A and B are shown apart, each in its own frame.
Chain A
Amino acid sequence: MRSVINRKTLALPYVIFMILFVIFPLIVILYYGFTNGSGHLSFANFAAFFGSRRTVGTLLYSVVIAVITTLVCLLIAYPTAYILAKGAFCRKHGFLMVFVMPMWINFTLRITALKEILSLVEGNLAMHPFFNTIFCMVYDFLPFMIMPLFNSLTKLDKSYIEASADLGATFPQTLRKVILPLSVPGIVSGVTMVFLPAMTNYVVLDMVYNSTYIMGSLIGSYFSSYDWNNGAVISAILLMLIGLFTLMTGRLAAEKGGGRR
């Protein structure tokens, strides 16, 4: 039976699409990053990035924002996910949905809501740029941390926890030696889903009138001034960071977390 369309060739449109619009753009980004305006090979863009106090400062500031946002999310999400998966609410199936639901409401509208409340409490939002940024980012990304943690904790066999208690471990000991190590995949996928957006989601800063820059805002401002080469440099640096991050976490993560930034 001759047939041109067999099962394997079904992938062809997707493969072509991926090469054209996922692989090609990456190559173009690298090309623009490593050339100057007239198309000659040059490392000047990178040298300029790492030579300027403003841009290096932006990189460090983004890392600080991202680390703090991720830690705060983790500190809030871990107990929440634990209580939902193994604690007082473990029999209430579907209750997790209530914590995941904000993911489906447009994030700009949610930040608008939070911003109105913050302006009521603080008066002038520009007075506390750092606090407001962290607060809004945690608000935005918390569901993305709760979900993978819940998925990981809910798979954890409760008899391990009970066995640990029976053998005389206190709860903090069980937490440190049994629960935490077994939930590492969840932690890893939660961190992946929060850390990177927190480094790049500059709209949150814009919306709360924070005039400082993170890595994403640099791309935004180069985009508005049609400076493709410098924009590509920032993208290339972010790509390398993402690559590094994926390599590091890929080893830790045995499972793929559900959900999405």
Chain B
Amino acid sequence: MRRHPLQKTWILLVLAFLYVPILILAFYSFTDSSIIGSVRGFSFKNYKTLFTEDALRSMMTGTILLALGVSALSTVLGTMGAIGAFYSKKGIRNAIELANEVPVANADVVTGFSVCILLIVVFKVDKATFIPLVIGQTVLCTPFVYLSVLPRLKGMDNALYEAALDLGCKPGQALWKVVIPQIMPGIVSGFMTAITLSLDDYFITTYTKPATFDTISTYVVNATRGAQTSIKTALWALSTIIFLIVVAAVVFMNVKAGGAKNEKR
């Protein structure tokens, strides 16, 4: 049964469903055609537009800077929160975990709308300061950092921390030199999760962003409501570039994981 051809067909069909649209778009991004289906000449014009058009360039740098800033903030907050909660009393820890589940379980629309009401409607914070946007996305990302750091803390050997204290470390030093290195993989994967969440977010961004600022998501959605053809096809190029980056990242991670496995042997 293991070599069942039916299983392979099914897997192929699902893969086709997931990737055919992206691949077709990638193909057409290298042509000068503006509609899928009519092949014309080969061209890099979409890629040229993507990197020369001011609106597109500022949208891309804005998205990346926002993602990096929000992820850094979330990683610091979430890691500190996880360490603190881990050593706190059970009641406090449970309360933190419960609050932590709220943004995870909540719909992004509701999270975005509630942060918008609190900051923009009640406290009259100016959207143009980026404060509502950064806070909104941090609310979304931090719980996931917390959730990826906590298992590392649970799996950590606590005797090492005690040993560091016995050997004359101050608690702060012991934390920095003993605990942090042990939970580092959790911190890194939390940071990566935060990056992908921020890059993918549409709803929180729409409800909290400054009027003139766009991330990839809000820009693309606006563009589907009628944008110039050159902008529309330049987004095909953007989609292709992101796809290639993701593929490269996955291949890199697999190679690294394979390397680690071989080292163990």
Contacts and interface: CB of A to CB of B under 8 A. Distances in A.
Interface stretch (A8-16, A49-57, A147-155): A8-16
B211 interface: no
Interface in A193-229: 196-197, 199-203, 206-207, 215-216, 219-220, 223, 228
A50 B159 CA distance: 58
B260 interface: no
Contacts of B15: 98-99
A87 B108 CA distance: 36
Given A6-B171, A114-B21, A200 B109 contact: yes
A109 B88 CA distance: 43
A28 interface: yes
A197 B246 contact: no
B108 A200 contact: yes
A101 B23 CA distance: 14
Interface stretch (A18-26, A40-48, A126-134, A177-185): A18-26
Contacts of A5: 171-172
B221 interface: yes
Contacts of A80: 10-11, 14
Nearest to A236: B110
A116 B114 contact: no
A242 B107 contact: yes
Contact of B239 (A97, A109, A220): A109
A97 B246 CA distance: 11
Top 7 closest A-B pairs, CB basis? A11-B84, A14-B81, A25-B114, A10-B84, A108-B220, A113-B21, A109-B239
Contact of A21 (B24, B115, B221, B236): B115
Contact of B84 (A14, A94, A99, A143): A14
Interface residues of A, number: 85
A111 to B, nearest CB: 8
A112 B199 CA distance: 16
Nearest to B249: A104
- Chain B CB within 10 A, most for which of A25, A28, A228: A25
Interface string B167-202: 000111001000000000000000001001101101
14 contacts: A21-B138, A76-B14, A79-B10, A87-B4, A106-B200, A107-B200, A110-B239, A112-B220, A113-B239, A117-B20, A139-B17, A192-B105, A220-B206, A235-B110
A256 B97 CA distance: 13
Interface residues of B, number: 94
B163 interface: no
Contacts of A160: none
Q: Is the interface of B mostly helix, strand, loop or mixed?
A: helix
Contact of B37 (A120, A203, A215, A260): A120
B71 interface: no
Contacts of B160: none
B110 A239 contact: yes
Given A83-B7, A104-B196, A109 B238 contact: yes
A87 B7 contact: yes
Interface string B227-243: 00000000110110011
A215 B200 CA distance: 21
Interface string A78-105: 0110011001111000100111011111
Contacts of B21: 110, 113-114, 116-117, 139
Contact of B85 (A11, A32, A117, A196): A11
B145 to A, nearest CB: 10
